[in-house]
Amino acid sequence: MLVERRLHGERSLLHELRELAEAAGYTVAAAVSQVREPDPRYNIGAGKVKELAQLVKSVGATKVVFFNELKPVQAYNLMKELGVEVVDRFDLILEIFSQRAGSREAKLQVELARLRRELSFVREWLRLAKMGELHGFMGGGEYAIDTYYKHVRRRIARVEAELARLRARKAERWRRRSVENGLYYIALTGYTGAGKTTLFKALTGQDGHVDGRPFATLSTKVARASIDGRPVIVSDTVGFIDCLPPQLLDAFYTTLGEVLLADLVLLIYDASEGVAEIERKLSASLSVLASLGVNRSRVLAVANKVDLVGTAEELEGALEVARRRGLDPVPISARYGTGLDRLKREILARLPNYSTLELTIPADDGLLRKLMAGAYVREIEERGGLLRVVVEGREEWLKAVQAKLSGA
Ligand SMILES: Nc1nc2c(ncn2[C@@H]2O[C@H](COP(=O)(O)OP(=O)(O)OP(=O)(O)O)[C@@H](O)[C@H]2O)c(=O)[nH]1
Ligand SMILES: [Mg+2]
């Protein structure tokens, strides 16, 4: 059963909570919404709790999921009154993440988010214990809680250290690819379900998991692609979501090294949704990107699923939402390949430090192959045993190749 409490004038997000619950494998028996200020005891009003208890019985619900973040005491009070397990949206998202975490990194990230959450719970217990408000809620008393708190802190430090090692290795791989091999890095980002993985497939030919449920992708996937002959690295990333719990943001998104290091960040959104929904998801995505430190100048917006958009006016409306935020979206259909040519042109036009260089190289060594792997060789001409080539690519890299040549 789903429950949401919102303030007057706030939009309901029960539809999204439902998608999440279904993605976690639940069948939704009922959904309840209440408009009021939070109640410190239950989050919702005490009268509503009685109603919920009735409803839980009549529909036979075995679990209640709140949209709102519950304080430990609220969850505890609610469980006592409702007689079934009570979780909030954070727990639900974490449940999906842990079901789907495949890679070592994703598993560690789930653990970190869980530990961080636990830490904030323990802090709350400690606070209540100090105020003498626990009334047997935690039998062990303040000392036991304090010991546990230290234990959680130690585990957090250990997981963080391992994640830092993984991240350093990733950054090193990136450095090799960009600095040593000249490749550009493009990150696909956007709200969950926007079509990142579908576009990733269309650009790289590599398969990814697509199932139409939220958070289909949990681990970043990286592949080489050729954009009109220009070799690039494309990465598919974890989707964003509205009201992302801060502990999850910390655990999952600040480790999106791909996004931080990317030369270009594509922000994909589903243009087939209503304008209000597009607005909500775009602004959630932009605020995650901003909190990751991604500059707007590196962002290229992509309006996906135009095959589902009914009329030209609707499409215009969907593009206008992004324009109002200073973005100039490229309309595409990742599924049917519509608009990909224009998207590729726009990508190329935005690659930073892209330049053209003419080089004369020996015909017989591996340099030509190296150039072709890291840049776009536009022209090749043979001249008396030497090759005159015109290459386009990352300026620093081309200059480095040139310097090596003249030094040799
Ligand atoms: N009609 C249509 N459907 C699309 C298009 N692109 C993606 N979809 C569908 O939208 C759903 C989500 O697509 P994904 O590619 O998994 O989206 P994602 O952004 O990777 O989602 P997460 O991994 O959950 O963040 C799937 O059911 C896709 O088949 C498109 O251009 N047109
Ligand atoms: Mg995906």
| DSSP string across 171-240 | HHHHHIIIIIT--EEEEEEEBTTSSHHHHHHHHH-------SSTT---S-EEEEEEETTEEEEEEE-PPB
How confident is residue 26, by pLDDT bands cut at 50, 70 and 90?
A: very high
Q: Whose CA is nearest to atom 15 of ligand 1?
A: 195
Q: Check residue 251 and give its pLDDT.
A: 72
Please answer whether residues 305 and 195 qualify as being in contact, where contact means their C-beta atoms are separated by less than 8 angstroms.
yes
Give distance in angstroms: CA of 210 to centre of ligand 2. Answer: 6
Mutate which of 20, 96, 189, 197 for ligand 1? The one with the most ligand atoms within 8 Å of its CB, which is 197
Q: What's the mean pLDDT in 78-88?
A: 95
Compute the Cα dihedral for 65, 71, 76, 77 and give only its sign: negative
pLDDT per position as a tens digit, 274-326: 999 999 999 999 998 988 888 889 999 999 999 999 999 999 999 999 999 99
Q: Which two tokens stand for residue 128?
A: 């209540």
Nearest CA to 303 among 265, 339, 349?
339
Distance CA 119, CA 226 (A): 46
Q: How far is the CA of 177 from the centre of ligand 2 (A)?
A: 23
Averaged pLDDT, 230-247: 87
- 305 in ligand 1 pocket by Cβ < 6 Å? yes
Taking the C-alpha atoms of residue 126 and residue 249, their distance in angstroms, rounded to an integer, is: 25
Q: Which of 142-151, 154-163, 222-231, 372-381 has the lowest mean pLDDT?
A: 142-151
Confidence class for position 255, pLDDT limits 50, 70, 90? low
Nearest CA to ligand 1 atom 17: 195
Cα gap 334→364, rounded to integer Å: 41
**DSSP code, position 365:** S
Query: pTM for this structure?
Result: 0.89
**Cα–Cα distance for residue pair 258/57, rounded to 1 Å:** 48
- The CA-based angle 229-198-276, given to 5 degrees, is 120
Residue 138 pLDDT grade (very low, low, confident, very high; cuts 50, 70, 90): low
Q: What tens digit of pLDDT does each residue of 193-210 get?
A: 999 999 999 999 988 888
Is the pLDDT confidence value at 346 over 60? Answer: yes
Q: How far is the CA of 30 from the centre of ligand 2 (A)?
A: 29
Q: Whose CA is nearest to atom 30 of ligand 1?
A: 305
Q: Is the CB of 331 under 6 A from ligand 1?
A: no
pLDDT-derived band at 135, boundaries 50, 70, 90: low
Q: Is residue 285 within 6 Å of ligand 1 at its C-beta? A: no
